[in-house]
Amino acid sequence: MFPWQHIDTVLLDMDGTLLDLHFDNHFWLHLVPKALSQQRNVSEAEAMLWVERNYQEVDGTLNWYCLDYWESKMGLDIMALHESLAEKIQLRQDSLPFLTALAQANKQRILVTNAHPKSLALKLNHTDLGLGLDAMISSHETGYPKEHPQFWLQLFERFDLDPDRCLFIDDNEVILAAAKRAGVGYQLGIANPDSQKPNKQFSDFTAIEDYRELFADLRV
């Protein structure tokens, strides 16, 4: 699927790519509206409409991913809510075997995530994800989300990367396209980011359901 001899570094998204997206979907689409409905004494349907409208207003910006922004906007203790649901934070079953295979093939493994540093720390604390990474960066450290070209420029500079020799893996096709425009040589989608939902359809990028599909070529 990829010319691995021309790939030095694999850039990996976190939520939906290495971790099951079910945690985040359940948190933002179920737990938060429920908490808002109780806080504001409105129906969950009304709270959900408010949530959807406010999500759409900042979609694709750093605020969309910023826990501090949502804590201020909603008046909720977002981290306490995260902690209450922490048992749902799960690695994909194929993630650590893939990260191990990358290490055995001498590929650098860098986590590139839009997740807020507080969310990143929580997920690292509740999984073994950190054991399979060589480096990591949150877009909040750069001031730009992965959708923005400046994020990629800062990423390449920070880790001294040759973008032509990088593979980027993400479950979001918009972000895959942003990486391609920024010069990342190879892209791969994840078709099943949420274990509790149907597969996604990708229009412009190859997508897989299981990293083990890559193992045979990776080990050659």
The per-residue pLDDT for 219 is: 77
Q: Please, which pLDDT band fits residue 189 given cuts at 50, 70 and 90?
A: very high
Residue type for position 211: Y
The per-residue pLDDT for 1 is: 87
**High-pLDDT (> 70) share of the chain, %:** 100
Nearest to 91 by CA among 99, 81, 101, 82: 99
The per-residue pLDDT for 176 is: 98
Residues sharing a CB contact under 8 Å with residue 52, sequence separation 6 or more, in sequence order: none
Q: How many CB atoms lie within 10 A of CB 211?
A: 23
Give the tens place of pLDDT for each residue, 6-23.
999 999 999 999 999 999
**108-113 vs 9-12, strand pairing mode:** parallel
Here the tokens at position 164 are: 């032509």
State mean pLDDT over 145-151.
97
Residues 210, 188 contacting (CB under 8 angstroms):
no
The per-residue pLDDT for 66 is: 96
Flag whether pLDDT at 169 surpasses 80. yes
Q: Please, which pLDDT band fits residue 220 given cuts at 50, 70 and 90?
A: low
pTM for this prediction:
0.96
Give the tens place of pLDDT for each residue, 26-49.
999 999 999 999 999 999 999 999
Region of 178 please: left (phi>0), alpha (psi -120 to 50) or beta: alpha
Q: Round to whole Å and give the CA distance between 27 and 46.
A: 17
**High-pLDDT (> 90) share of the chain, %:** 97
Give the tens place of pLDDT for each residue, 57-114.
999 899 999 999 999 999 999 999 999 999 999 999 999 999 999 999 999 999 999 9
State mean pLDDT over 48-61.
94
The per-residue pLDDT for 213 is: 94
Mean pLDDT rounded to a whole number for the chain: 96
